[in-house]
């Protein structure tokens, strides 16, 4: 369901309270895609040639993003995450972070990145108000990195992790998409990072999108299997995790400064705890990552919609936010353009 909103302004009124959907889930978290472009071509995410990119004129400006965030903050959104594509390929991202950090009501700004450009940008981002970072990393081996990402860059990502820790960002989370026969023999190596540093490694079940649907069923490793294999390394106990807005369940080895987490949209979906909506790079409010539940915000933004008008549209969107996704193993979702859209 794609709901065009140009005719709704004036018909919807701002809600009397904070943002919540029809299933009484408070919506306090907004993920913002600042670009659809990426400097990697991960095999599970997109074709090597890339995707049909959104025309530049259709991408929201920083000022338009800020206007949406001001409206969202007025109805209870408190946490933001900047995503892509790869958000750091958009120039001046620290300027956007500073603008959003100044919005009354916003308490937390995080970033999801593949880490290639992080080391040279992290200090400016932290100074602007960035607090947390998630870094995608699917292997600790340089040859595999290039095979999975179809680009070199492992050393740059590792440098980005170190730079994020040095800049005082906390927590620093590493997102690893687990694929049988591709990188699942590195589970223990990734988990070992949590025993040495205050890092939070989250293992993500590979999900079916158009580009990987044929291979996905054979590559799928459930979170239950991941945890069982890690428990052969050492005792692994449930842990509270580092906080934030993500769907991970956390576990820790004895005495470890970090923890491992699992994100399991297929084997143990977390829809009942959903507290988020997403703003796409071209100005659509996506109510569920895997469905056709969207509201066009770009048109009213560019026609001069005021903050209360946008807040009303956010409330209206809650009427079509679904109770859960219906993703199934081997059934592709065409809605998810990038794995950076996963995980909090």
Bridge partners of 199? 172
Residues 149-176: tens digit of each pLDDT: 999 999 999 999 999 999 999 999 999 9
Q: Any idea where the domains of the chain sit in the sequence?
A: 2-341
Is the Cβ–Cβ distance between 118 and 86 less than 8 Å? no
The confidence band for 182, taking pLDDT boundaries of 50, 70 and 90, is: very high
336 has a pLDDT exceeding 80: no
Q: Which architecture does CATH list for 2-341?
A: Alpha-Beta Barrel (3.20)
Summarize the confidence of residues 94-105 as an average pLDDT.
Answer: 98
Residues contacting residue 300 through CB under 8 Å, at least 6 positions apart: 5, 6, 9, 309, 310, 313
Kindly state the greatest CA–CA separation across the chain. Answer: 60
Is the Cβ–Cβ distance between 107 and 79 less than 8 Å? yes
Of the chain, the percentage scoring pLDDT greater than 70 comes to 82
Residues 47-57: tens digit of each pLDDT: 777 778 999 99
Environment class of 286 (CB within 10 Å of its CB; exposed 0-12, middle 13-18, buried 19+): buried
Q: How far apart are CA 45 and CA 239, in angstroms?
A: 30
Residues 206-245: tens digit of each pLDDT: 876 555 555 566 888 999 999 999 999 999 999 988 876 6
Residues 69-90: tens digit of each pLDDT: 999 999 999 999 999 999 999 9
pLDDT of residue 45: 79
Strands 284-286 and 294-296 turn out to be antiparallel
331 has a pLDDT exceeding 60: no
Using alpha carbons, select from 191, 118, 177, 174 the residue that is nearest to residue 148: 177
């Amino acid at each position: 369901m794609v709901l065009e909103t140009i005719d709704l302004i004036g018909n919807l009124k701002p809600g009397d309270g904070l943002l919540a959907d029809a299933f009484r889930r408070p919506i306090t978290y907004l993920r913002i895609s600042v670009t659809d472009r990426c400097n990697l071509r991960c095999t599970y995410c997109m074709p090597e040639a890339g995707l049909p990119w959104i025309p530049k004129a259709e991408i929201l400006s920083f000022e338009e993003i800020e206007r949406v965030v001001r409206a969202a903050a007025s109805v209870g959104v408190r946490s933001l995450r900047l995503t892509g594509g790869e958000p750091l390929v958009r120039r001046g991202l620290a300027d956007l972070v500073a603008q959003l950090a100044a919005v009354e009501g916003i308490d937390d700004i995080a970033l999801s990145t593949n880490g290639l450009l992080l080391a040279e940008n992290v200090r400016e981002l932290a100074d602007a108000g960035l607090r947390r970072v998630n870094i995608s990393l699917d292997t600790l081996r340089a040859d595999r990195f290039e095979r999975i990402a179809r680009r070199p860059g492992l050393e740059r990502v590792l440098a980005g992790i170190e730079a994020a820790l040095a800049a005082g960002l906390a927590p620093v989370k590493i997102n690893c998409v687990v694929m049988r026969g591709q990188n699942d023999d590195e589970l223990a190596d990734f988990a070992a990072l949590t025993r040495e540093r205050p890092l939070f490694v989250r293992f993500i079940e590979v999900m079916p999108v158009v580009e990987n649907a044929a291979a996905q069923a054979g590559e799928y490793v459930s979170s239950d299997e991941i945890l069982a294999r890690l428990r052969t390394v050492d005792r692994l106990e449930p842990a509270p995790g580092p906080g934030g807005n993500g769907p991970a369940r956390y576990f820790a080895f004895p005495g470890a400064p970090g923890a491992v987490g699992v994100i399991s949209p297929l084997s143990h979906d977390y829809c009942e705890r959903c507290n988020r909506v997403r703003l796409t790079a071209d100005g659509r409010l996506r109510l569920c990552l895997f469905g056709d539940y969207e509201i066009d915000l770009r048109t009213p933004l560019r026609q001069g919609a005021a903050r209360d008008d946008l807040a009303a549209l956010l409330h209206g969107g809650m009427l079509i936010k679904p109770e859960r996704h219906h993703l199934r193993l081997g059934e592709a979702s065409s809605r998810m353009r990038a794995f950076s859209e996963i995980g909090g």
